[in-house]
Amino acid sequence: MAVTRNTDAITPVRSSSKFNIWLTGHASASLSALGRLSRQPFASLMIILVIGVTLALPTAINVIVKNVQSISDNWNNAIDFSVYLKQDLSIKDAEDMANLIKQRADIELVDLITADEALIDFKQQSGFGEALNQLSKNPLPHALIIRPSPDNTGASLALLQEEIGNLPETELVQFDTEWVQRFHAILDIIKQAISIGTVLLGMAIVIIVGNTIRLDIENKREEIEVTKLVGAGNAFIRRPFLWTGFWHGLLGGIFALLIVQYGLYLLREPASRLVGLYQDQGKIAVTSLTITESSTIIGLAIVLSLFASWVTTARYMRQIEPR
């Protein structure tokens, strides 16, 4: 009787089975790492707080700068010239000059403020009304408030300012939004400083998480040696430490978002009162973090923590060998 081999009884290991084994191993390591964090609540909380505060600091400053910049962008719409006319110029000549400037295509609005109107306004706002009544002559000149067309560029605005300043009736031209340009330049410097600070704080997170993983490896040194004796590879041993770094980064990133959102909540009302002094409160909306920005912060925390865990385990795993 011939003996035949049943080839159907030999089932090759499919790639899907290997993937399931790999997935199960990572799920087990993930839950095990989360369990270790819960069994060491104080130490774990300290690491999460450090990561959260470290990330929340540049994030909060960046959000504040973004809100200030969005508010100051509206100030650029009022690129007004204040044109002070010569002291001896009559109201009729001032009106003629205002009408002449209105005819220019690069001018949107011209508002004449007479010397008498300016003095009355100054009395009301300065609080020196009684003292100013003793003046025998109005020391203030007529003034024009000129709003250029929005189509003007920086070069055309400079040219317009020069042309109006050269008119014989003009005593002084003041460009009211120069301070806005300086303010935006300061904001640009602050944003560059935030970028540098973020890099430095990111390095701090890597050092902190790396040191935590190093201590964890030293505490499990004997366990790692025994695991290597039974044939486990570095990838298998490294897995729980990587997941520990992942949970630190995830929870630290979420904590950073909570800090920033709570800070914005506290600042919303006083910021609205402050900005309301300069423009309509109905148009004020304190900008918070977008979904993309929030995801980026959490993702950055996870990447930094995983990087620190990977570098630390790769270095110390080579030093731990069974005796």
In a domain, 310, yes or no: yes
Asked whether residue 254 is assigned to any structural domain, the reply reads yes
User: Tokens for 154?
Assistant: 């920086």
Mean pLDDT (whole number) for 83-110:
86
What's the number of CA atoms in the CB half-sphere (13 Å) around residue 8?
Answer: 1
Is residue 62 domain-resident? Answer: yes
d(CA 4, CA 6): 6
Give the tokens for residue 179.
Answer: 């301070």
Task: Return the number of other C-beta atoms located less than 10 Å from residue 2's C-beta.
Answer: 3
**253 contacts 51 by C-beta, under 8 angstroms:** yes
Domain stops at, among 141, 176, 211: 176
The set of residues, in sequence order, having a beta carbon less than 8 Å from that of 11 and lying 6+ positions away, is: none
Q: Does 94 reside within a domain?
A: yes
Does residue 300 sit in the same domain as residue 248?
A: yes
When the pLDDT of each residue in the chain is averaged and rounded to a whole number, the result is 79
pLDDT, tens digit, for every residue of 44-68?
A: 889 899 999 999 988 888 888 877 7
Percent of the chain at pLDDT above 90? 11
Asked if residue 97 and residue 147 are part of one domain, the reply reads yes
Please report the pLDDT score of residue 15 as a whole number. Answer: 54
Same domain, 65 and 192: yes
Q: CA-CA distance, 169 to 21, in Å (whole number)?
A: 88
Domain region containing 229: 25-75+181-317
> By the 8 A CB rule, do 111 and 82 touch?
no
CA distance 211 to 231: 27
Q: What is the pLDDT of residues 249-274, one digit of tens each?
A: 999 999 999 999 888 888 777 767 76
User: Same domain, yes or no, for 91 and 50?
Assistant: no
Q: What is the CATH number of the domain that holds 141?
A: 3.30.70.3040
In a domain, residue 2? The reply is no
Between 300 and 19, residue with greater pLDDT = 300
* Token code pair at residue 90: 């009559």
Please tell me the predicted confidence (pLDDT) of residue 2: 47
**Domain stop point among 153, 176, 199:** 176
* Other Cβ atoms closer than 10 A to 32: 14
- Distance in angstroms (rounded) separating the CA atoms of residues 240 and 259: 29
pLDDT at 305: 92
Band of the pLDDT at 33, cuts 50, 70, 90? confident
* Contact between 229 and 322 (Cβ < 8 Å): yes
Express each pLDDT in 205-252 by its tens digit: 999 998 888 888 888 888 777 777 777 677 777 888 889 989 999 999
Query: Do residue 124 and residue 240 come from a single domain?
Result: no
Do 240 and 166 share a structural domain? no
What pLDDT is recorded for position 191?
83
Residue 11 placed within a domain:
no
Same domain? 188 vs 304: yes
Secondary structure (3-state) at 92: helix
Note whether 107 and 147 are within 8 A (CB). Answer: yes
Whether 231 maps to a domain, the answer reads yes
24's enclosing H/E stretch is helix 15-39
Q: Assign 276 a pLDDT band (cuts: 50, 70, 90).
A: low
Same domain, 203 and 275: yes
Q: How confident is the model at residue 275 (pLDDT cuts 50, 70, 90)?
A: low
The domain tally of the chain equals: 2
Closest alpha carbon to 163 in 100, 76, 118, 113: 100
- 59 and 197 in a single domain? The answer is yes
Does residue 184 or residue 254 have the better pLDDT?
254
Q: Are residues 56 and 91 in the same domain?
A: no
Query: Is residue 10 in some structural domain?
Result: no
Of all residues in the chain, what percent carry a pLDDT higher than 70?
79
The pLDDT, as a whole number, for residue 94 is 87
What pLDDT is stored for residue 239 in this prediction? 85
Whether 144 and 100 have beta carbons less than 8 Å apart is answered as no
48 and 142 part of one domain: no
CA quadruple 213, 218, 221, 223: dihedral positive or negative?
A: negative
Are residues 189 and 305 both part of a single domain?
A: yes
In the predicted structure, residue 19 carries a pLDDT above the cut 80: no
Q: Among the three residues 158, 176, 194, which one is the final residue of a domain in this structure?
A: 176
